[in-house]
Amino acid sequence: MITLTNILILSAGTRNKIIQYFKNELEGCGKVIATDCSDIAPAIYDADKLYIVPRITEPGYIDTILDICKKEKISGVLSLIDPELSLIAKHRADFEAVGTTVIESDYDICEITLNKFDMYKWLVAHKYNCAKTYVDKDAFYKDVTSGMISYPVFVKPICGSASIAISKVYDKETVDLLFAHSDNLMIQEFLDGQEIGADCYIDMISGEVVSIFTKKKIVMRAGETDKSVSFKDVKLFELIKNFCKEFGFRGQIDIDIFEIGGEYYISEVNPRFGGGYPHAYECGVNHMKLIKNNLEGKENIPSIGNYDDGIYMMKYNEVKILK
């Protein structure tokens, strides 16, 4: 008798490829169910079944999702947007009670990665290279005067995603202006180097890092990788393995890294599928299979860097028509 593995993907938005990849993996042995708060979110129409749900901030949202899990006999659930990660992690026990595994890291980890200043403090405390970051602009001005940091810098929300409301700033007057008009901002050193993306999977059962795919970013658009080229470096793989183990991640994560003068600097982490993951999948790095194995109670065997380097990804627009 075949045991069905049904996946629920929340806040699917425009991530059509993620839906398609899961459908490929589950063909004949499970279904992909997708949700969004908008009925013109194109990815939901690639799923086997879709649900239009309330916004994640509305009362009763989690109850709606739990009802879907019960009705559709969902084996595993994951979200594709940052603000929802902490929410479903917080309700992990409620999902387990209806037989659904939350495919992501624990609540405290999601909270740290969402708060970029908390993430910075963790990186400094654990001695990882990272960009200098300030929430106190007077402390920043003092370091500018002493030569510890210089313009340009980035001013960005402490909690934000998709590169929304990020400003590259070249002078004190602009920093003052931004801080005067917005709360919860931070100042971050501009890292002038090669930006790298890493798609990683940490086994949900063993806790081991079982897959890493790295690419050099060539073009970015709206905070996502638009063009990139695959590459491999054993030194970077070891750094990522140590970092993931020390932080305690589980499931799929996306790491932003900079390479400057042969050294790697960790920038940000999204504990979910990143917008550039299709590059990994199309190079044979199939994290959907790893998730399916875990949901079936199988540990995955580590396979780090099992792909070709020098493979380019170039995104382009597609159109979905709906009556």
CATH number at residue 294: 3.30.470.20
Domain CATH number, residue 153: 3.30.1490.20
Position 90 in a domain: yes
Q: Are residues 28 and 95 in the same domain?
A: yes
- Structural domain ending residue among the three candidates 157, 189, 221: 189
Q: Are residues 211 and 179 in the same domain?
A: no
Q: Are residues 175 and 211 in the same domain?
A: no
Q: Tokens 């991640």 map to which residue?
A: 249
Q: Are residues 182 and 206 in the same domain?
A: no
Q: How confident is the prediction along the chain (323 residues), in pLDDT tens digits per residue?
A: 456 899 999 999 999 999 999 999 999 899 999 999 999 999 999 999 999 999 999 999 999 999 999 999 999 999 999 999 999 999 999 999 999 999 999 999 999 999 999 999 999 999 999 999 999 999 999 999 999 999 999 999 998 765 567 899 999 999 999 999 888 999 999 999 999 999 999 999 999 999 999 999 998 777 778 899 999 999 999 999 999 999 999 999 999 999 999 999 999 999 999 999 999 999 999 999 999 999 999 999 999 999 999 999 999 988 999 88
CB 298 within 8 A of CB 163: no
Q: Are residues 181 and 219 in the same domain?
A: no
Domain CATH number, residue 46: 3.40.50.20
Position 258 in a domain: yes
Distances from the Cα of 46 to the Cα of 4, 218, 251, 317, 320, angstroms: 19, 29, 23, 16, 10
Position 85 in a domain: yes
Q: Are residues 199 and 256 in the same domain?
A: yes
pLDDT at residue 165 in the model: 73
Position 23 in a domain: yes
- CA–CA dist 127, 121 (Å, integer): 10
- Structural domain ending residue among the three candidates 141, 161, 189: 189
Q: Tokens 């624990």 map to which residue?
A: 106
pLDDT at residue 1 in the model: 46
Position 240 in a domain: yes
The residue range of the domain holding 149 is 132-189
- CA–CA dist 263, 255 (Å, integer): 16
Q: Are residues 11 and 86 in the same domain?
A: yes
Domains in the chain, number = 3
Q: Which of 98, 42, 97, 61 is nearest to 321 (CA)?
A: 42
Position 238 in a domain: yes
Q: Which of 217, 201, 209 is nearest to 285 (CA)?
A: 201
- CA–CA dist 274, 112 (Å, integer): 17
Q: Are residues 152 and 218 in the same domain?
A: no
pLDDT at residue 221 in the model: 79
Q: Are residues 208 and 310 in the same domain?
A: yes
Q: Are residues 202 and 308 in the same domain?
A: yes
Position 121 in a domain: no
Q: Are residues 203 and 310 in the same domain?
A: yes
- CA–CA dist 251, 143 (Å, integer): 38
Work out the end-to-end distance of the chain between its first and last CA atoms, rounded to an integer number of angstroms.
39
Residues 6+ apart with CB under 8 A from 46: 16, 19, 20, 23, 34
Position 114 in a domain: no
Beta bridge partners of 154: 168, 188
Q: Are residues 99 and 24 in the same domain?
A: yes
pLDDT at residue 115 in the model: 95
